Amino acid sequence: MSTNRIKIALVGEGRSLSDMLSGLATRSRLLRLKIVAVVDLAHDPASPVREHARSIGIPLISSHVSDLYEIEGLSLVLMASDLPAELARLRAEMPQHLPVLGPESHAIVEGLVRLIDTNRLLRADSRRLKETRLRLHEFVDTAPLAIYIKDTDLRYKKLNPHALRMLGVREGEMVGKRDRALYPDGGARWLQIIEHETLRSRKTLHASGVLPIQNQEMHVQVTLFPIIENGVTEGLYGLIEDTTELVESARRLHRADAQLNETQKYLREVLENSRDIIFLTDPAANLLSFNSGAETVLGYSRDEIVGTPAHRLCATPGAFDRLFAEALRDGHAVAYESEFVTKDRESVIVNISLTRIEGPDGKPLELVCICRDITTRLRLKQDLIRSERLAAVGEMASGVAHEINNPLAVIDTIAGLVEETLEDEGQALAPETQHILQKALDRLHHQVQRVTKITHSLLGFVRTPETGMTEVNLVELLEESLNVLGIEIRRSQTEVRRIFADDLPTFVSDPLLLEQVFINLIKNSIDAIVEVPQRPGVLEILTTLDEGRIRVTFQDNGVGIPRADQEKIFNLFHTTKPAGKGTGLGLSIVHDILHLLGGSVRVASEPGSWTRFIVEIPLDPPATPPPDPSVSI
């Protein structure tokens, strides 16, 4: 092959020589040329053009034109550079039969190179086209799609194997026929309309529909695109994909979604309308949702609580955080009695159940918290305990009443004998002595009646006592109560300040029960004053008349009542006194007596400074006891 190629030599210098060498060297085979010599007139042994010539294996690389004379079979010399003098000398020195082409021939050479490049590209395109057609045929034959070709009259020209299997026909049966052969009842009319539109618009179109194939309705997705050659529409390609299973899956999914939506709706309704406290949190314990039951019980709205830490609902946030950490670790956590705090800072006792919800990756996604308000149940439990205690007190009261009333009867009898003796033989005594003894006997009878009334009050815990209603002078009753506690008042060095209104009328009530109330409250004030010996004790008793009710205020400057106890001080068996000094019965009896008489009692206190009890008594007692009033102010 190399002996048939034309041997040429290149002469020149610089960039023009380098460009011609590069252009011809890469196309020498296609041009059937062989570069056998390069003469670089720049006389630079290290020039880039010489390095390039060496790298591609040029046999002769020189700086002298005369070296060309020794080359056998040289057929052509090309002058690459625009050097007129060198070109003339070269033509003069070369043999006459050896053509020497100058720069005027470069356009011919460049055109030839471009022609070669174009031919090379065309050959590459032709090769790629053949490969593409081969792959297309392979695709058509093996694709899991029904592929067919129709002419402009919509007659079948070709169907691939998958289409033949889908339609249940052989290729020879369908070539040259229209769709009536497959769909005799016009079941593919919609497909024919789309095919006509594809031919008319010369655009690729897509459509979905149902085809009656082999006596069954098949859901299909069709893609149509025209066959255009030399600007003329020759027919169309059709691709049919069986989507029946996909459509059925979509229907099943739609039904499942509908059922799921219905279930979710039902679940949301249950959760939303539940009276329990239900909320969701993220793994960081921030609230994500808050149901209406939680809003009702705790008083917060969704807008103001969602996004905040859940432990803000708890009276002891640290305990909730520990419970939350347990649920994250173990998947579930329970607290049977925990205290929540409402927006109004009221206490709510709840039973908490925390459950972890995991995401698809197994990591905690949410935690659901279900809390049941058991405040009422605990209150009923406490009421039951109170009832049991009351029953025990009732049994004790029966025995106490029996044991105390017997000696009281003896004392009252002896007092009666002394009184009769005083009437019969008192003339022997001095008048002043008679007066003192008579006054002592009167007080003795009064205190016997008072003790008897106290025993009856103990029985009042288990049955409603009968009241002895009569006219009451409030000032006299208060003075009598102070006289009973006179010794304790003097021992405690308490100053009693009486601020009694002048216009107080008499009223109907039970004087013995009221005296028991006053003595209890005065005794509590004295006990509170004794606990602060470093300052003089003062007990102030104020009486006023206000809208048909008499108000009596007892205020002392004693030790005060802790804030936590002020709401519980009237509860049965609750006491703030040290062990052995208080039973928790006194103020509870005060509250019950006033409630029975239609009155009320309230308390206010500044711990360490003062305490105030306010008693209100109606001028006209009710026929039946009113509802239990509030005991705090």
Domain of 552: which CATH number? 3.30.565.10
108 and 161 in a single domain? The answer is no
Q: In the structure, what pLDDT confidence band is assigned to residue 224 with cuts at 50, 70 and 90? A: very high
Cα–chain-centroid distance for residue 294?
A: 15
Domain-embedded: residue 393: yes
Pick the closest to residue 108 from 11, 20, 2 (CA basis). Answer: 20
148 and 27 in a single domain? The answer is no
365 and 407 in a single domain? The answer is no
502 and 587 in a single domain? The answer is yes
Instruction: Show the domain range for 52.
Output: 2-117
Domain-embedded: residue 525: yes
Among 138-147, 511-520, 530-539, name the one with the lowest average pLDDT.
138-147
DSSP 553-574: EEEE-SS---HHHHTTTTSTT-
Domain-embedded: residue 262: no
Task: Identify the residue with better confidence: 580 or 408.
Answer: 408
Task: Identify the residue with better confidence: 424 or 488.
Answer: 488
Whether residue 393 is predicted with pLDDT greater than 50 in this model: the reply is yes
Pick the closest to residue 178 from 200, 207, 206, 153 (CA basis). Answer: 153
> For residue 170, is it left (φ>0), alpha (ψ between -120 and 50) or beta?
beta
DSSP 399-467: HHHHHHHHHHHHHHHHHHHHHHHHHHHGGGS-HHHHHHHHHHHHHHHHHHHHHHHHHHHHHTTTSPPPP
- Give CA–CA dist 409/533, Å, rounded: 41
**Where a domain ends, among 347, 373, 399?**
373
Three-state secondary structure of 190-235: HHHHHHHHHHHHCCCEEEEEEEEECCEEEEEEEEEEEEEECCEEEE
266-277: per-residue pLDDT in tens? 767 777 777 888
Query: How many domains, in total, are found in the chain?
Result: 5
11 and 58 in a single domain? The answer is yes
List beta partners, residue 10.
38, 78
Q: What percentage of the chain exceeds 90 in pLDDT?
A: 13
Domain-embedded: residue 447: no
Contact 10, 78 (CB under 8 A): yes
Q: In the structure, what pLDDT confidence band is assigned to residue 90 with cuts at 50, 70 and 90? A: confident
551-588: per-residue pLDDT in tens? 999 999 999 888 877 676 776 544 555 444 443 456 77
Q: In the structure, what pLDDT confidence band is assigned to residue 2 with cuts at 50, 70 and 90? A: very low
Whether residue 629 is predicted with pLDDT greater than 50 in this model: the reply is no
**Where a domain ends, among 425, 442, 459?**
442
- Give CA–CA dist 570/622, Å, rounded: 22
- Domain CATH number, residue 34: 3.40.50.720
302 and 404 in a single domain? The answer is no
Write down the pLDDT at residue 383. Answer: 62
Write down the pLDDT at residue 584. Answer: 41
Pick the closest to residue 525 from 588, 579, 577 (CA basis). Answer: 577
Domain-embedded: residue 347: yes
200-213: per-residue pLDDT in tens? 999 999 988 888 88
**Where a domain ends, among 390, 408, 442?**
442
DSSP 320-369: HHHHHHHHHHHSEEEEEEEEEE-TTS-EEEEEEEEEEEE-TTSSEEEEEE
37-56: per-residue pLDDT in tens? 888 888 777 788 888 888 88
Kindly list the distances between the CA atom of residue 75 and the CA atoms of 36, 71, 78, in Å, as whole numbers in the listed order.
10, 10, 10
Q: In the structure, what pLDDT confidence band is assigned to residue 398 with cuts at 50, 70 and 90? A: low
- Domain CATH number, residue 288: 3.30.450.20
Average pLDDT, the chain: 80
Mean pLDDT value of segment 79-87: 84
Domain-embedded: residue 265: no
- Give CA–CA dist 157/175, Å, rounded: 5
- Give CA–CA dist 390/588, Å, rounded: 12
> Measured between alpha carbons, how far apart are the two ends of the chain, in Å?
122
- Give CA–CA dist 561/576, Å, rounded: 8
Task: Identify the residue with better confidence: 426 or 89.
Answer: 89
Write down the pLDDT at residue 53. Answer: 85
36 and 101 in a single domain? The answer is yes
113 and 154 in a single domain? The answer is no
289 and 338 in a single domain? The answer is yes
Whether residue 457 is predicted with pLDDT greater than 60 in this model: the reply is no
Question: Is the Cα torsion angle 30, 36, 42, 45 positive or negative in sign?
Answer: positive
Domain-embedded: residue 125: no
Domain-embedded: residue 451: no
Task: Identify the residue with better confidence: 629 or 68.
Answer: 68
List beta partners, residue 471.
508
26: amino acid identity, one letter: T
Whether residue 108 is predicted with pLDDT greater than 70 in this model: the reply is no
Q: In the structure, what pLDDT confidence band is assigned to residue 136 with cuts at 50, 70 and 90? A: low
230-281: per-residue pLDDT in tens? 889 999 988 888 888 888 888 888 888 888 778 767 767 777 777 888 888 9
50 and 95 in a single domain? The answer is yes
Whether residue 156 is predicted with pLDDT greater than 70 in this model: the reply is yes
471 and 608 in a single domain? The answer is yes
Q: Which residues contact 620 (CB under 8 A, 6 or more apart)?
A: 507, 508, 548
Whether residue 329 is predicted with pLDDT greater than 80 in this model: the reply is yes
396 and 485 in a single domain? The answer is no
Q: In the structure, what pLDDT confidence band is assigned to residue 139 with cuts at 50, 70 and 90? A: low
